[in-house]
Structure 1
């Protein structure tokens, strides 16, 4: 299939092949009015914010859950939070390929409704096993906007502006887990942990209704398939087919489509290594989440509500990284496109610089907390870390989407699944690691690992195109 960004000049390439009608066809999502694109992107950003919010908003209320269900195992306390992110590992492998078969909108609506149902189930759970199962199912459904959001952006936004718009979408996966503990700390303290889920359910219900009213399908192959169906009915010509039509969906094609994210993850070294870098960084974020509240409560004497405010360092750093990275990425894309030399590797320069903020922030946060210096110092360290996190997150996503534009949802699914697996599992090792090494050397160990991974962007900047285009790594998708 040709690049989805190229807008065709005629309705048909043969007498019976249906395509968009010229470069200005308003059915083509690239030609939608700005207000229509903006409405879709704002709704998508809200959708992408609410479901990650649920991953961590519940964290300050874990003590109440353990007390109500008479549990004392601290690993279980960590797992009831991170099992939601484990659901993020399962969902993308189903959601992304289905969105490339049936379109984005049916998946958004179905997953939003399921997420609402399972969130309410969490609010009324009567035992720890029930709560954990419902959290897992909510995570599987809630990962939908994270999985196909980048695909929705790629459906509508040309590459020269894509990084800036992707930055708005990226606010959700990063700021959701950051804002969650801030709001959840006060809410759980005042009303109890069940009200955390009720508030999320209310917000989800409002958002779901708005999405059902205003979401529009943006995936070009599905739009053209529907157009071909209308023309067949209007003209009686049963031979009319979309330009993207590959024939009847066979069982083999269906299974091959479902396997696409797995093939991208394990058969493409670029996808695997960039996803691994993003995954380790994301895992560090959740690992730090598990230690931040106890540090500020026990060391600095913060109340549970005030301890949630310590997460604002992550939020402010994320916004700084988002603004700078989005601006620089768009500038580079516009410059290279004007010269006719744009390639996916044009997305990597911000990461070449920004990724070094990750080990710097880890060293800063770890040793400041170890020596119990003024509370603002470790918070500033988390802000530096967040700048690097946002840079890696955004550049990895835009690079992978530009490399596999037609399969943007599937490559994002591969990235999201690996990231979520590490984000769910790594925090479980946090308490024992910090007990053995302390906050200073524990975070230094994480920083040394990230220093090694900082070599990946340099390698892909120099050799990425050769690896992508090498016949050995050309995938049959």
Structure 2
């Protein structure tokens, strides 16, 4: 139920991440905003909240466990959703969107640890992450559809629709059990002291209670060191950040492609993102079949060049993802720039390989980092989350310069050429990954620290 709750919360968060792209016209009319740059600021501020959110909730989770952090942050998110719907002006909306992003980021930072708690088997854990990524992709599609139809009446209606989902999710979140082992032991020790009077203490209690400042100092240092000193984390973060940013650029562009080019209504344009969700389902199926094959080979005593316990087993899917993503960029650029000669469904179908590539990249590289830095997977994921959200917050501000200056065709072509260069990253990890980790002082230091903590 916990995984389901985190997934539902993330779907709702992703839903509102795409809401603003369809509400800009009615927002412009109500607030009297003509600057296209200002109109995309609420969306960018939401993503900027994703940068700082995990940095706040990560150290808090050491005190209160995953349940309390999830519940608290999602409460903030729900209140901010209501505030956005009632925002009296653009400045208030921008501020509330940032607060909403702070609360929305927690499921993204918690899911890796939750999956590690519940699924010790690497294949089961990988499938859980795959399901999570696929569900988040559907959240984007749901948000585009809701916003497309509801924002015709008012830009605020999608927020109130999402608020009803958020309230239901909040109840589910409150019913979640705790899964973080140190907190479970701490709670058990407390019960034994209260009921039986036994003087038993959990390991986390024996270490002494740290202040929030001390925990924050310790926890914040590792993600930043990994981001700038670990080549695996650095290039994974760059790859995921650009893919994430391109996803939001895609949302900002679909007005030009489907409404201005193909003359669809906002609601009809939103329906086109069902194709991205379909691509995500296909990607999840590809992952399931791939890992089933690995398990079957292992069960029958077969051998592979990359064994099941080798973290590089995640990378073939990332290698496969690049061509799908590149195909989608050039396909969309070619057909969307000629709406008179290319049927709209031809361009819509180009979104399917986009969804496949997007989900495969996130599933495979997220699992790769979790497996590579198993003890400090949360720090690696925090580094990638912060960097990709920061880039995604900035890229939509370049929408008009990209598509207005280069045009739809060459705007998408440019993104395709960027992805061609980055698609070599997982191939390089396949060949040089183990060697890079052996030469990494930080990786060896983290391993020694983890072994010392396990021994004690």
Task: Report the TM-score when normalising by structure 1.
Answer: 0.86
Q: Which residue number corresponds to residue 28 of structure 1?
A: none
1:147 to 101, 109, 133: 109
Aligned: 1:343 with 2:310: yes
Task: State the 1:403 CA deviation.
Answer: 1.9
Task: State the 1:393 CA deviation.
Answer: 0.6
- State the distance in 2 between where 1:220 and 1:267 align: 30
Aligned: 1:227 with 2:227: no
Aligned: 1:448 with 2:417: yes
Q: Which residue number corresponds to residue 160 of structure 1?
A: 123
Q: Contact 1:261–1:414 at 8 Å: present in 2 too?
A: yes
- State the distance in 1 between where 2:402 and 2:295 align: 42
Q: Which residue number corresponds to residue 133 of structure 2?
A: 170
- State the distance in 2 between where 1:81 and 1:341 align: 40
What is the root-mean-square deviation in Å for CA atoms of aligned residues? Answer: 2.2
CA deviations on 1:442-473 (whole Å, 9 max, x unpaired) are 21111111111111101111111222233423
Q: Which residue number corresponds to residue 99 of structure 1?
A: 61
Q: Contact 2:51–2:389 at 8 Å: present in 1 too?
A: yes
- State the distance in 1 between where 2:293 and 2:167 align: 38
Q: Which residue number corresponds to residue 4 of structure 1?
A: none
Helix, strand or coil at the partner of 1:371: coil
2:282 to 320, 325, 331: 320
2:149 to 169, 177, 186: 186
CA deviations on 1:246-283 (whole Å, 9 max, x unpaired) are 44426545411233322332232111211211110111
Task: State the 1:366 CA deviation.
Answer: 0.7
- State the distance in 2 between where 1:471 and 1:423 align: 29
CA deviations on 1:62-86 (whole Å, 9 max, x unpaired) are 1111111111001111222232112
Task: State the 1:233 CA deviation.
Answer: 5.0
**How many pairs align?**
437
Helix, strand or coil at the partner of 2:78: helix
Q: Which residue number corresponds to residue 7 of structure 1?
A: none
1:360 to 327, 335, 344: 327
Distance 1:343 1:247, change over 3 A: farther
Q: Which residue number corresponds to residue 311 of structure 1?
A: 273
- State the distance in 2 between where 1:336 and 1:143 align: 37
Q: Which residue number corresponds to residue 210 of structure 2?
A: 249
Helix, strand or coil at the partner of 1:356: helix
Q: How does 1:104-143 map to 2 (within 5 A)?
A: 104-143=66-105
Distance 1:336 1:421, change over 3 A: farther
Pick which of 259-268 and 325-334 moved more.
Answer: 325-334
- State the distance in 2 between where 1:163 and 1:253 align: 29
Structure 2: gaps spanning 5 or more residues: 450-456
Structure 1: gaps spanning 5 or more residues: 1-38
Task: State the 1:231 CA deviation.
Answer: 4.1
Task: State the 1:230 CA deviation.
Answer: 3.7
1:277 to 207, 221, 239: 239
Task: Report the TM-score when normalising by structure 2.
Answer: 0.90
- State the distance in 2 between where 1:245 and 1:156 align: 25
Q: Which residue number corresponds to residue 34 of structure 1?
A: none
